[in-house]
Amino acid sequence: VQEKLRTTDRMVSLGTLAAGVAHELNNPISFVLSNLRFAVDELGEQTEAGKPPSAEQLEEIQQALREALEGGERMRNIVHDLRSFARREDERLGPVDIHAVLDSCASLARSAIRHRAQLVKEYGDIPRVLANESRLGQLFLNLLVNAGQAIPEGDVKGHSVRITTARAEDGWVVISVRDTGVGIPPENLQRLFKPFFTTKPVGVGTGLGLSICHGIVTAMGGRIEVSSEVGKGTTFRVFMPEADRAMQAATGTKSA
Helix axes of 98-108 and 133-149: crossing angle, nearest 10 degrees: 40
Distance CA(225)–CA(218), nearest Å, equals: 12
Site mask for ligand ADP (CB under 6 A), range 112-151, x = bound? ------------------------------x---xx--x-
Q: Which of 148, 209, 222, 233 binds Mg ion (CB under 5 A)?
A: 209
110-115, Cβ contacts within 8 angstroms, sequence gap of 24 or more: 110/24, 111/20, 111/23, 111/24, 111/27, 112/20, 112/144, 112/145, 112/148, 112/149, 113/144, 113/147, 113/148, 113/151, 113/161, 114/156, 115/153, 115/154, 115/156
Report what 150 binds from ligand ADP, Mg ion, none; CB cut-off 5-8 Å by kind: ligand ADP
CB of 4 to Mg ion, least distance (A): 20
6 is a site residue for ligand ADP (CB under 6 A):
no
Q: Which of 5, 39, 182, 247 binds ligand ADP (CB under 6 A)?
A: 182
* Closer CB to Mg ion, 209 or 222, in the complex: 209
Site mask for ligand ADP (CB under 6 A), range 161-180, x = bound? ------------------x-
Which residue's CB atom is positioned nearest to ligand ADP? 209
20 is a site residue for ligand ADP (CB under 6 A):
no
13 is a site residue for ligand ADP (CB under 6 A):
no
Number of helices (H), then strands (E), in the chain: 8, 7
Amino acid at 206: T
Helix (H) or strand (E) holding 191: none
First-to-final CA distance of the chain: 48
Report what 206 binds from Mg ion, ligand ADP, none; CB cut-off 5-8 Å by kind: ligand ADP
Q: Which of 210, 216, 217, 220 binds ligand ADP (CB under 6 A)?
A: 210
Which residue's CB atom is positioned nearest to Mg ion? 209
The three-class DSSP label of residue 168 is: coil
Q: Work out the widest C-alpha separation in the chain, in whole angstroms.
A: 85
198 is a site residue for ligand ADP (CB under 6 A):
yes
54: which DSSP letter?
Answer: P
| Residues found near ligand ADP in the complex (CB under 6 A) | 142, 146-147, 150, 179, 181-184, 192, 197-200, 205-211, 234
